[in-house]
Amino acid sequence: MIGKKVLKWLKDMFKSVLEGQVKRLQSDAFENKVADAVAIAVPDVPGFGDPEQRVLAKQIVDMVTDELAESLNMDAD
C-alpha cells in the first residue's frame, strides 16, 4: 500500500519537473539565447546574415520543444 503511494508521488514529481523544464525550453529567453549563439557561430553569407539565422534558430527550437511538449501530453506553445 505504501509502495503504490510512493510510486505515484514519484511519478507526479517527475512529471512536474519535466513540465517545468519543457516550459523553460519554450520560453522566449531560451529561444533568444539559442538564436544568438547560432548567429555568432554561423558565418554570414549574402542574404543569410545574423537576423535570418536568428529567425531560423527560433523556428527550430520552437519545433523541437513543441514535439517534446506533445510527447508529454502538454500544449505546444
When pLDDT is cut at 50, 70 and 90, the band that residue 77 belongs to is confident
> What pLDDT, on a 0 to 100 scale, did the predictor assign at position 16?
93
Decide if pLDDT at 2 tops 90: no
Which pLDDT tens digit goes with each residue over 25-65? 999 999 999 999 999 999 999 999 999 999 999 999 999 99
Q: Which long-range contacts (CB under 8 A, 24 or more apart) does 18-23 make?
A: 18/72, 19/72, 19/74, 22/65, 22/68, 22/69, 22/72, 22/74
